[in-house]
Chains A and B, each alone.
Chain A
Amino acid sequence: DIQMTQSPSSLSASVGDRVTITCRASQSISIYLNWYQQKSGTAPKLLIYAASTLQSGVPSRFTGSGSGTDFTLTISSLQPEDFATYYCQQSYTTPRTFGQGTKVEIK
């Protein structure tokens, strides 16, 4: 299985901060990397697919980059509604695998 490792596991930030989350795959996955946001008690929501394509309706402050094994999710200016847990997922092969999550908390 392809292992996905996110860092950090959690972070504290203030509204307006720039936040970066990284995701590393144990082998090359081209650009088959997706990012999801999950708020407490709700289903994950797709933010970015194919490493850098913004899902329809997602604010432009979210950007994704990377290819191969190293990827990043950046929130350019953190908003109150962005406090959540973020997961990366590889869709290069099955079984699909997720990172362990990064919890973004209010500082």
Chain B
Amino acid sequence: QVQLQESGPGLVKPSETLSLTCSVSGGSISSYYWSWIRQPAGKGLEWIGRMYNSGSINYNPSLKSRATMSVDTSKSQFSLKLSSVTAADTAVYYCAREVEAAGRSLDYWGQGTLVTVSS
């Protein structure tokens, strides 16, 4: 059973960089796209981006180039950095696996981690 677990600081100051890691267990980190999605309290889901073994990365242009994703296959982890954060970046952040063979759907998700941007 594939499991994903997000980790990182729950509180980030405005203008600083948010850093999150997703640890993957129970399956290979290779041969899949790995995604980040966020959800402000009481609101809908926003796709942040996805990556494939560092070789192919897509970001949401709405983030205006503030997002950077990377992968460490030796640790079965992938990461998200979001720079110059503001209160608008306060949200629950999810990592998820995208499966090409299943219509590029997100079949496994982490439990989510709340990140609050506040001084």
Q: Hey, which bits of chain A sit against chain B, CB under 8 A?
A: 1, 31-34, 36, 42-46, 49-51, 53, 55, 87, 89, 91, 94-101
Given contacts A42-B111, A43-B110, A43-B112, contact A91 B104 (CB under 8 A): yes
Number of interface residues of B (CB under 8 A): 25
Interface of A is mostly: loop
Quick one: which of B58, B102, B104, B105 contacts A95, CB cutoff 8 A?
Answer: B58
Interface of B is mostly: strand
How far apart are the CA atoms of A32 and B96 in the complex, in Å? 17
Residue numbers in B under 8 Å from A96 (CB-CB): 35, 47, 50
Quick one: which of B46, B104, B105 contacts A98, CB cutoff 8 A?
Answer: B46
Asked whether, in the complex, the Cβ of B102 is within 8 Å of the Cβ of A97, the reply is: no
Asked whether, in the complex, the Cβ of B103 is within 8 Å of the Cβ of A31, the reply is: yes
Asked whether, in the complex, the Cβ of A94 is within 8 Å of the Cβ of B50, the reply is: yes
Asked whether, in the complex, the Cβ of A55 is within 8 Å of the Cβ of B109, the reply is: no
How far apart are the CA atoms of A50 and B106 in the complex, in Å? 11
Quick one: which of A34, A51, A98 contacts B44, CB cutoff 8 A?
Answer: A98
How far apart are the CA atoms of A97 and B44 in the complex, in Å? 10
